[in-house]
Amino acid sequence: MIDVSTTVLPRAEWVPLTEAHARRADAATAGRRERAARGEKHPIEDFLYDYYGTRPSLLRRWHPGIGVGLDNATDHSQWRYYRSADAITEVDAREFWDARGSTADDVRALLTATASRPAVRGCFGLHEWAMVYRDAETRHALPLRLGRNGTDEVVESHDLVCTHSDAFRFFTPDAAPRNSLQLTRADQVAREQPGCLHANMDLFKWAAKLAPAVPSELALDAFELAMEIRYVDMQASPYDVRELGLAPIAIETAEGKSEYARRQGEFASRASVLRDRLIEACVRTREAAEIEPTATRTR
């Protein structure tokens, strides 16, 4: 059983942690904040903020996670799902569990099932191509690298093997029947696999949904990985990203397929570590909600 005793950090120890986290978050979100001040959009980076419903200010906020108490943390004591006693502030695991325990259990079940499967690396990012197949509209303000006919020909010359239900639901009506699986939300736990770029981007979504029970360091790790994945996702897409200073990953070629599979494998390895940490955080939260923790000071 995971130890759920509370370790108390003195103010002199936790304040530098929150300041370092803020600097790291500011660096990760600098582009978004600068563009927002100018009213500009970004066809790649905005996805993480808009689709996952996050903001730079939320990423900047530091949570120590379940099992860590903060000495003299006035700000934290005012935040939702925190409690204070004897000048020590910590996440109230029981209050959190009463409100969001079912979400934590669902996330744990999904991530555990995903981790149990081998990574599949044969999709080549064709989900983005399937989202514009035989459709006059595109999802992003970028031109198609191969044009309309060339894009459709790539879809027609490949097998679609998408395993991610949230990506599949954006397939065009002509593309959806071409997929090897007709996915629904109910299939998610049974189908999601750790090689999927979108499943690995979603690790940030789950970390954000489980705040403040999940440490902010883990959430920011997931965000940074998701941003890297998002760039590769769009480089391998039918959109021409050269105007953004990026080299396309031409998945219609053997070289492009090899590059995509290589990057996909790298992401899968890094995501597996974050997935395990998120599963552990879900377990820790359940344990803490059921067992009264005992506090131990670090000094």
d(CA 25, CA 60): 5
pLDDT of residue 3: 40
Query: Considering the entire predicted model, what is its pTM?
Result: 0.93
Tell me the two tokens of residue 77: 């004591």
Over the chain (299 residues), the average pLDDT of each successive run of 10 is 69 97 98 96 95 96 96 94 94 96 96 96 95 92 95 98 96 98 94 97 97 97 98 98 96 98 97 98 93 48
Count of structural domains within the chain: 1
Q: Is 103 left (phi over 0), alpha (psi -120 to 50) or beta?
A: alpha
According to the model, what pLDDT value does residue 291 have? 58
Question: Per the domain annotation, does 1 fall within a domain?
Answer: no
Integer Cα distance of 66 and 281 in angstroms: 8
- Burial (CB < 10 A; 0-12, 13-18, 19+), residue 7, is middle
- Domain residues for the domain of 150 are 6-297
Measured distance CA(200)–CA(164) in Å, rounded: 10
Residue 180, domain member (yes or no): yes
Q: Are 17 and 78 in contact (CB under 8 A)?
A: no
Q: Which residues, other chains included, contact 259 with Cβ-Cβ below 8 Å and sequence gap of 6+?
A: 249
pLDDT at 141: 86
